Chain A
Amino acid sequence: MSNNSNKGFFDRVMLLDRRWVFLVLAVVVVSTYYIPMNVPVPASREVQTIFDAIEGLEEGQKILLAIDYDPNALAELHPMTYVIMEQCFRKKVGVIITSLSQNGPGMAEQAILDIVDSTALPKTYNGVSYPGREIVNGVDYAFLGYRAYFELVITGMGQNFRTFFSRDYYDVLLDSLPIMKDVQNYDDIEMVIDISGSNVVDAWIKYAAARYDVKLALGLTGVMTADYYPYLGSGRVFGLMGGLLGAAEYERLADNPGLAMDGMKVQVWAHLTIIAFIIIANIGYFGSHKKRGL
């Protein structure tokens, strides 16, 4: 190749229409979805601790599951909600659900309806057979819904859940729900699991975990995860699930494969594609600079 055409090649690599990048990624993601592959998802320590904590609960104990995300984060966080909720329902652990994000109640409701259906069927997880059972609103779970200004709500719940939630999402008085009978505040639940795609998580850390010494674990979107390791290090949170991989690790631990494990095979190919893009672009970058003698 002559010097000129060489230079042209590298420059062309540098100036590629971005829609080619889009097209390649789209083709890779869609086509590899239909190629079966086994992706290893060994559980990391921070996911294992959450699983162990919930697995160690006994029938009748209660947790608070905070579903604080909007549809934009459903891809990563819905799988976490699904697998944890089903684990609790199977083990007859009471689940109190709040949703302090603007579009969160709809996400929570979708998850509840799906998991109530799924728990009605008999299943075997990790070698333990569970018969199907009917999940009753108010007995097996309570859905408290949304209240505005999450930092105030979370602080208020430390004194009494009824400060803000005198009624649940379905407009029923909290005092008439059997599951809420002995629940005044955070002292009466075992832990809070916050599945969050926004800064609501900071409020849970400060106003629940730090102020009232509540045991707190987090399920976060991939974008946020790396930022929350210091809280793991300081012991303020006891577990951390990050993004689709965190969800997939949990699904494997719970022996309940769902959308997260299903998606991991595509992740591998899509990541390979993006790494290839980075390498090609860097070859173009160094190639064109070398030719210009830079």
Chain B
Amino acid sequence: MNPVMELGDYLWMTFAAFLTLATFSFLYKDNPLYKIAEHLVVGVSAGYFVIILYYGSLKTQLVEKLYDGQMVYLIPLILGVLMWTRFSKKLAWVSRYPIAIYIGIATGLAIPLEMQTKVTEQLQAMMVELHWGNLFDGGLLNYTNSFASLIIIIGSLAALIYFYFSKEHKGWFGGVATVGIWTLMLGFGASFGFTVMARISLLINRVQFLDQWRITSVGSAHQEGSGSYTAVYILILVGIFGLLAFDLIRTKGKTDTDLT
């Protein structure tokens, strides 16, 4: 990213920074600035999709081919237009024809590959030779040794048994199911740990963007004025955080309970 940019681009970037802060203001409470941002993004996103859909799909896949005289493309065109009968109460049933074709094709396409990737290949991956002699080859935490394979086999089967509700989880069956739920919990824990990192990443990205905006502002200003830009940036941040803290102390006791 270039710290010195054209004025027009800089103004756009400043607008983006403003929208970022406007969206953050929701954390304090819902307010008109946030609502504006929220409604704007819905519209812009849908408008973007219209353009992408037309120039990306419709134009090249259908319109051009019809212009070229490939009249067989009238068939998908007609079937597609039939979708719009949904708007009529009387004719809505006609839209079932194209929907049925789509569902038939999508389902037929998916069935064998769902079976292959999610079931048979997963079973295949568990059919490994176990070396009982050196179970812990490469150390306890080596996840390619026979011990790891054994844990994966036991864990997967036990977790599958946990999901089997047609037999009561009692006796040996209940014992295996318990191993299954322990395995699942470790899996969910790993997912949660990853999720925390994911959410924080989103926040860090916005901080990086605002800092980039600060650097750009400094770069666009005169050399001698650059220090004061950074000072203003810090002052704004401290001001926002300070005001929030002050307000939280002031309204002590009135905790908000609308969300956790």
The finding on whether chains A and B are genuine partners in a shared complex, rather than unrelated, reads yes
Interface residues of A (CB under 8 A from B): 15-20, 22-23, 25-27, 29-30, 33, 72, 74-76, 102-103, 105-106, 114, 145-148, 151-152, 155, 164-167, 169, 171, 205-207, 209-211, 221-223, 225-227, 230-231, 233-236, 242-245, 259, 262-263, 266-267, 270-271, 274
Whether the pair B201, A243 counts as a contact (CB closer than 8 A) is: yes
Whether the pair A210, B197 counts as a contact (CB closer than 8 A) is: no
B45, B196, B201: which has the most chain A beta carbons within 10 Å?
Answer: B201
Bound CA–CA A16/B260 (angstroms): 11
Q: Given B56, B113, B237, which contacts A207 in the complex, CB threshold below 8 Å? A: B113
Whether the pair A146, B197 counts as a contact (CB closer than 8 A) is: no
Bound CA–CA A77/B7 (angstroms): 29
Bound CA–CA A116/B110 (angstroms): 38
Whether the pair B52, A105 counts as a contact (CB closer than 8 A) is: yes
Q: Given B117, B195, B208, which contacts A205 in the complex, CB threshold below 8 Å? A: B117
B248 to chain A, nearest CB (A): 6
Chain A interface: which of B118-126, B130-138, B167-175? B118-126
A14 to chain B, nearest CB (A): 11
- A236 to chain B: which residues have CB within 8 Å? 117, 121
- A210 to chain B: which residues have CB within 8 Å? 113, 116-117, 121
- B203 to chain A: which residues have CB within 8 Å? 25, 29, 270
- B244 to chain A: which residues have CB within 8 Å? 19, 23
A288 to chain B, nearest CB (A): 16
A281 to chain B, nearest CB (A): 12
List 19 A-B residue pairs with CB atoms under 8 Å apart, sorted by A's residue number: A16-B255, A29-B207, A30-B207, A76-B201, A105-B56, A106-B48, A146-B57, A148-B53, A166-B60, A166-B61, A171-B55, A207-B113, A222-B199, A233-B125, A234-B121, A266-B200, A266-B204, A267-B197, A270-B200
- A23 to chain B: which residues have CB within 8 Å? 241, 244-245, 248
Bound CA–CA A27/B116 (angstroms): 49
Per DSSP, chain A at the interface is helix
Bound CA–CA A18/B28 (angstroms): 10
Whether the pair A267, B53 counts as a contact (CB closer than 8 A) is: no
B237 to chain A, nearest CB (A): 6
Whether the pair A259, B248 counts as a contact (CB closer than 8 A) is: no
> With contacts defined as CB atoms under 8 Å apart, how many contacts are there between chain A and chain B in the complex?
160
The number of chain B residues with a CB under 8 A from chain A is: 55
- B191 to chain A: which residues have CB within 8 Å? 223, 226-227
- A221 to chain B: which residues have CB within 8 Å? 198
Q: Given B61, B113, B198, B237, which contacts A243 in the complex, CB threshold below 8 Å? A: B198
Bound CA–CA A233/B48 (angstroms): 39
Interface residues of B (CB under 8 A from A): 1, 27-28, 45, 48-49, 52-53, 55-57, 60-61, 64, 105-106, 109-110, 113-114, 116-117, 121-122, 124-125, 152, 187, 190-191, 194-208, 211, 237, 241, 244-245, 248, 255-256, 259-260
Q: Given A164, A206, A266, A274, which contacts B114 in the complex, CB threshold below 8 Å? A: A206
Whether the pair B61, A147 counts as a contact (CB closer than 8 A) is: yes
Whether the pair B241, A26 counts as a contact (CB closer than 8 A) is: yes
Whether the pair B248, A20 counts as a contact (CB closer than 8 A) is: yes
Bound CA–CA A29/B194 (angstroms): 18
B250 to chain A, nearest CB (A): 12
- The residue of chain A having its C-beta at the shortest distance from the C-beta of B256 within the complex is A17
Q: Given A30, A169, A225, A262, which contacts B194 in the complex, CB threshold below 8 Å? A: A225
Whether the pair B202, A151 counts as a contact (CB closer than 8 A) is: no
- The residue of chain A having its C-beta at the shortest distance from the C-beta of B124 within the complex is A234
Whether the pair B113, A223 counts as a contact (CB closer than 8 A) is: no
Known: A207-B109, A210-B113, A234-B121. A75 touches B194 (CB 8 A): no
